[in-house]
Chains A and B, each alone.
Chain A
């Protein structure tokens, strides 16, 4: 399996944080070309034609998302979502610290594509180093005339604002992010209205993931056809997969969509000697597990959905036979309960209840009925929530309860052992 390098080109080899190095390697040429030679509609057409889909989790077609903006409402904003917090995902973190100019160039092109004059980047609070690196890169780019007024001698102005989050998973949800960016409590908004109509400061807004925007640069450079030629029928192009868990070489690997699950595991060095695969969580903490029967399935949006899971943000967690799935489930449910904003009832109360029951089971203090409760409550809260967070609690838990019920059963006290 050859290593692909598109966005990751040069990472680990050259200091892409330096504007000079980035420029020597062709940096900002696509940005200049877009402003000088293209209309915003051309950029949008390229995005649509390339088949690029959102790399943040939902996989929504990027060009289509942009096209929802009402035609004549200004100002409008582009927001780059760099609040990467999905358990198991660390691709944006790497790009932010290693290739800040690439992100910025992608943001600039994206903003131009929706004819916006102000782009924002919302950086996860914990990424302090990345924030400093990106801010320095932005200042360099501004001095070099890539950001600001009358760009490249045209009438086009574009300002970029950097904003740091304060450490909340929910601010990665696009409307929670917008609230936080406005200085409000980071709670997802009630939809409709959707951000494309009423987003940041009540104006039409597009929120795109870091990786999504970064792919605009090679798409402009090499053409939509080049991108669309790779991948499967409805999952085009490349994806950075953050492989972690029980593999020998965890890390970020860029692959064409449609690469098989087995190939990705092999890219990361395969399992440790003597271990067998139990499960893979292919799309971050919110996704259900897939199992050995899916090893030769292509890793793309449709196949992962068909396998009962999702591709999500591309966080690829491998579990071998040393895994305690009760602990793993507790770990994730505790995460979601902790990160619930508490606005809506099912997520707030359901998450905390499931967490308490799982905590008992980890301590081997389960009582008869707990497994039924876990299945019943996790499934009944799904679909009732205001945002996707509450619906993210069930998938992993349910998939491992169904697959490894004995691990859960072992944690239930026999009736005789129960405290009176």
Chain B
């Protein structure tokens, strides 16, 4: 669980002896981190690798030769020749004292505490505590079950005032909502204003909290940690690709947790990634294929559904050629599924393929594409279009870290020219574009063309948009951006569907009737489509207009890979059993291929192809490239990440949060 040792960035090494073991670490390294390199645990509560020392809890006392008093390991920088003892009677007495003091007012309600079993106070009390208590007086009573905000409940009595939550809010999230109020033994954690604690990253405080003071509303009283089965997977709710743990108890998803050592998320999750997972249990999930008969959707079996689908495709192609069929989707599928999707339709001769059912036009930055590290070392981070604060929240945290640690400047300007003016003296520029308006992308790319060290990133709307593009789900380029015959893009497909020229439209995990640039026009076109097939988890605005609705598996119910906005290939691992009759999009395509007599690669082969395509990624274009055109007027719509549609609106976990965001 714990992060790797955080060593100082220095070429100069110093020798330090910890418990008789001589080591060399870079000058400036904190003692608590140096001890980790030899696996020596020094207990900590307030210190956190990503928050730095605070010196509050006083549990990390160690003995340093030549110093009369014990010293805190969290704020001591190692010096050459330092001799440290993390054991021995003095250190043990100090630890026991601090632990005894923590328990003077702590309620010791471990049997009903959600943290029980993964609590640092329990663990250290057991390891270093006295085992008995001299406390003969009643404990201080404080508020329990304080409703801190839409996501978090606070138990003031369990709080040990390590202030990790306060510092996270201040340093990392840059919200400064949480503060300590009152003083002495009466002090409590609260929001400074008294208003609900709410921003895009609140859930992280429940994991920073070393005790059971801060708990998620969605997880309270649901489980003991030892009953949970843990699976690591990639969050696909946006294009950042944070690693997360899915914790499942007896087949039910109870919580998701951050992965501390994950270099992509830097060990944080946004609230959407963390909490927007309750929909897996929603009673509104699609569980059966549905077919529209006499205007009403009726349940059919998969065999019938596949026959109907296959028949519609064959008839359309026979009557009007492959230009009369098309497919939209891929940005919410795995790489493998996106590959199979275009492979199947291209095998039929169809060229109308596009992942872009929403407002985003481009996901791959092409030759300016950078690695995530380019953000960390940038002098200026230029934002074009919508702010990543809502579109890619954890990227925004990374940008804030670059500001904090490397003095980067975040530039948001009205146009590319003034953005360039504002970052004139920056040698290294990271350009973060939302991928929506091609002209904007082109404008910025051209303005910054001369910057030698330019790294471009496209955040966008869908988790695997970049993977879909690399797999060939574009009307003008095939797998790996290979040349392909011109097909219709999503907008043109909808236009042609409206007038009946496009006869069969298959949509996978996309909802143009809600997310297209002009949702009403898209909805009308979808309603007029002769044969519309929609695969999704819920009866979306698009699915409502379909002739055939197919129940899909969610990302926690299938295996595969996804590609994040920086082009990294990341694993998608199943942790949940899907509803009985739900199929993954890949399984559906496979079955449809069988029905149509089209040979598709096996899932292993598709995986190998996907890995290869992502690794290859020979994209010589840049932002706003012609191949993503034609352009459509894109209204700038600012949406809160926790608002909007999709699975979020079906998530029973967070009905309260939804109503507050609306």
Contact = CB atoms under 8 A, between A and B. Distances in A.
Contacts of A346: 58, 97-98, 101
B101 A343 contact: no
B59 to A, nearest CB: 8
Interface stretch (A30-38, A146-154, A255-263, A380-388): A380-388
Interface in B99-136: 101-102, 104-105, 134-136
A349 B58 contact: no
A170 B187 CA distance: 15
A75 interface: no
A342 B186 contact: yes
Contacts of A340: 183-185
B105 A380 contact: no
Given A346-B58, A348-B161, A360 B137 contact: yes
Given A346-B101, A353-B104, A353-B135, A384 B94 contact: yes
Interface in B254-272: none
Contacts of B186: 342
B136 A367 contact: yes
B70 interface: yes
A136 interface: no
A110 interface: no
Contacts of B609: none
A385 B69 CA distance: 11
B591 interface: no
Contacts of A377: 97, 134
Interface string B44-78: 00000000011111110100000001100001000
B171 interface: no
A328 interface: no
A178 interface: no
A252 B58 CA distance: 39
A169 to B, nearest CB: 10
A381 B61 CA distance: 12
Contact of A349 (B55, B61, B102, B134): B102
B75 A349 contact: no
Contact of A348 (B75, B93, B134, B187): B187
Contacts of B97: 346, 377, 380-381, 384
Nearest to A376: B134
B70 A384 contact: yes
Nearest to A372: B134
A384 B136 contact: no
A339 B182 CA distance: 11
B77 to A, nearest CB: 8
B98 to A, nearest CB: 5
B137 A342 contact: no
A337 B94 contact: no
A344 B94 contact: no
A357 interface: yes
B608 interface: no
A344 B56 contact: yes
Contacts of A185: 179-180
B644 to A, nearest CB: 38
Contacts of B61: 384
A167 to B, nearest CB: 11
Interface residues of A, number: 36
Contacts of A213: none
A378 to B, nearest CB: 11
A345 interface: yes
B183 A342 contact: yes
Given A348-B161, A349-B104, A353-B101, A386 B184 contact: no
B140 interface: yes
B160 interface: yes
Given A190-B75, A373-B134, A384-B58, A345 B184 contact: no
Among A352, A383, A384, A386, residue most surrounded by chain B Cβ atoms (within 10 Å)? A384
A338 interface: yes
A288 interface: no
Interface in A330-362: 337-346, 348-353, 356-357, 360
Interface of B is mostly: loop
Contacts of B58: 344-346, 384-386
A349 B140 CA distance: 10
A411 to B, nearest CB: 14
A26 interface: no
A385 B53 CA distance: 15
Given A190-B55, A342-B161, A380-B93, A349 B70 contact: no
A373 B137 CA distance: 12
B53 A337 contact: no
A183 interface: no
Contact of B56 (A345, A373, A376): A345
Contacts of A168: 183
A343 B179 contact: no
B183 A352 contact: no
B466 to A, nearest CB: 42
Contacts of A386: 55-56, 58
Contacts of B54: 190
A351 B183 CA distance: 12
Interface string A306-349: 00000000000000000000000000000001111111111011
Contacts of B184: 337-342, 348, 351-352
B101 A381 contact: yes
A192 B161 CA distance: 22
A393 to B, nearest CB: 12
B427 to A, nearest CB: 27
B134 A369 contact: yes
A111 to B, nearest CB: 30
A384 B98 contact: yes
A373 to B, nearest CB: 5
A49 to B, nearest CB: 30
Contacts of B104: 349-350, 352-353
B185 A342 contact: yes
A345 B102 CA distance: 7
A342 B182 CA distance: 9
Interface string B232-269: 00000000000000000000000000000000000000
A381 B180 CA distance: 23
Contacts of B57: 344-345
Cβ-closest 9 pairs across A and B: A352-B185, A342-B187, A349-B101, A190-B55, A340-B184, A380-B97, A356-B137, A342-B184, A349-B104
Given A339-B183, A385-B58, 18 more contacts: A190-B54, A337-B185, A341-B187, A343-B56, A344-B56, A344-B57, A345-B160, A346-B98, A348-B185, A349-B105, A350-B104, A351-B184, A352-B140, A353-B137, A356-B137, A369-B134, A377-B134, A380-B97
Interface of B: 53-59, 61, 69-70, 75, 93-94, 97-98, 101-102, 104-105, 134-137, 140, 160-161, 163, 179-180, 182-187
12 contacts: A192-B75, A340-B185, A344-B55, A345-B98, A345-B101, A346-B101, A348-B161, A348-B185, A349-B104, A370-B136, A383-B70, A386-B56
